[in-house]
């Protein structure tokens, strides 16, 4: 089990962590898959296009539309506004993704990258990477 540490810069921000995940895997010794796990409740992880950065921006905007900050939220934590919508966005993307490995390399599709999804930044965040047999 390896950890990746990152610092996000915006309230809602997708960060490409593909290279860090591959590096964390190191010599994965014939493992079959890599589990990328987010131990936070207002963040997530997703796989999507890394070639055009505008796809990540569209995802950020879409998740803010799908889950509206203006809905009637019960959970209020921050004095500067509710982060309840951030929790819902986390569950919509999921806190984990499993990627097959081929000779130790992430068997991602040609256009795919792994994105950390910040929904309540800026914050210091952690990602757990585990290889499975």
Instruction: List phi, psi (to 5°) of 82.
Output: -75, 145
- In angstroms, the CA 94 to CA 96 distance is 6
- Indicate the pairing of strand 2-7 with strand 105-106: unpaired
Interaction between residue 94 and a copy of itself (CB under 8 A): yes
Q: Which stretch, 5-13, 21-29, 101-109, contacts a copy of itself (CB under 8 A)?
A: 101-109
**Count of positions on this chain that bind a copy of itself (CB under 8 A):** 59
Q: Is-contact 56 16, C-beta < 8 A?
A: yes
Largest CA distance in the chain: 50
Least Å distance, CB 45 to a copy of itself, is: 10
Q: Which of 69, 71, 78, 105 binds a copy of itself (CB under 8 A)?
A: 71
Lookup: tokens for 85 = 């919508």
Residues contributing to the site for a copy of itself (CB under 8 A) = 1, 32-33, 35, 37-41, 46-49, 52, 54-55, 57-59, 61-63, 65-68, 71-75, 77, 84-85, 87-88, 90-100, 102, 107-112, 128, 130-133
């Amino acid at each position: 089990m390896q950890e990746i540490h990152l610092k996000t810069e915006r309230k809602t921000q997708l960060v490409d962590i593909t290279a860090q995940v591959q590096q964390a895997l190191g010599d994965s010794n014939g493992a079959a898959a890599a589990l990328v796990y987010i131990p936070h409740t207002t963040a997530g992880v997703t796989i999507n296009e890394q070639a055009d950065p505008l796809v990540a921006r569209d995802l950020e905007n879409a998740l803010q539309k799908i889950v509206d900050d203006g809905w009637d939220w019960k959970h209020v934590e921050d004095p500067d506004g509710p982060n309840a919508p951030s929790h819902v966005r986390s569950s919509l993307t999921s806190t984990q993704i499993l990627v097959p490995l081929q000779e130790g390399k992430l068997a991602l599709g040609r256009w795919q990258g792994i994105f950390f999804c910040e929904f309540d930044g800026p914050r210091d965040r952690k990602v757990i990477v585990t290889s499975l047999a």
